[in-house]
Amino acid sequence: MIVYGVLVGFLAVAGGVLLCVFPGQRARLAAAWRGFAVMGGAPVSRFSRRLGGALLARPAHAAGAVLLVAAPTLLVFGLRGPAIFDFGDEERMTERQIAILLEGEQLVPPPPLPPAVFTTREVEQVRPDIVHASRNWRLLDAEFTQRLLVVFKLMEERHGYRMALIEGYRSPERQARLFEQGSHVTQARANMSYHQHGLAADLAFFRDGKVVISERDPWAMRGYELYGEIAEQVGLTWGGRWKMRDLGHVELRRKGVLGRATGAPEPAPGSTSDPASD
């Protein structure tokens, strides 16, 4: 409908311009319409042929008419800026909100969950070694921690998902043990994972007093999708896009970090921590 409206408007403007450029055609047009009312479309057809002949006989006038019709459109395209299709402020509000959260006051890690929630059958089936994982927020990089806490905040406020930290910092020794279990567990050797540098974390969801980690749960799968989107918005790399998907994993990549030998990082002063350790 919009295209037809534009076409009709263009034809109306073109007709008006042609009549202004060729005043002699006005009387013929009026006679043609009167004849059309009486005899049908034959007079209009004769008028069209006469108008076409007049345009060919006066090429300068015809060129001027075309220029008058095309000038407004050319002017608009020449002066316009980049095309912006604004269907709402939701996306821009999202970017502004994330920027404010990242640059604003420091977010505080949530209180630690009871250790028993990490020893259920569901959790042990997916992560049988999770009892030895560190969930100490103070061992994570400060910048990474703030980005991760923004993810926690937005997941709960926007989508109603409460996040749970499954594992944060991982010692080189623990990484080596996991690597020995096979590539289905991890493909990274000791010091080749961002976990050793406090720049990676594995997350799941907390619902009805239980940690939900299973990928067979439709609610959890939808949560992982939303979690991955928000994590990428705050500048983190999400493991859900890897060939061997790791839906709960996120990391903050830095050049020159992997491969560097590390010891246990110094806890950040004043941070809330989970007593769980390696």
This model's pTM is above 0.75: no
Work out the pLDDT band at 105, boundaries 50, 70, 90: confident
Give the C-alpha distances (Å, rounded to integers) separating 171 from 107, 189, 244, 261, 275: 25, 11, 22, 11, 16
Residue 121, H or E segment: helix 121-126
Asked if residue 258 has pLDDT above 90, the reply is: yes
Say if residues 201 and 169 touch (Cβ distance below 8 Å).
Answer: no
Distance CA 195, CA 183 (A): 17
Domains of the chain, by residue range, sit at 2-79, 90-251
Structure-token match 């020449």, residue found: 78
Residues 149, 151, 154, 155, Cα dihedral to 10°: -120
The residues pairing with 206 across neighbouring beta strands, listed in sequence order, are 211
Asked if residue 86 has pLDDT above 50, the reply is: no
Nearest CA-CA partner of 166 in 208, 197, 120? 120
CATH code for the structural domain at 90-251: 3.30.1380.10
pLDDT in tens, 161-207: 999 999 999 999 999 999 999 988 899 999 999 999 999 999 999 99
Query: What's residue 179's pLDDT?
Result: 94
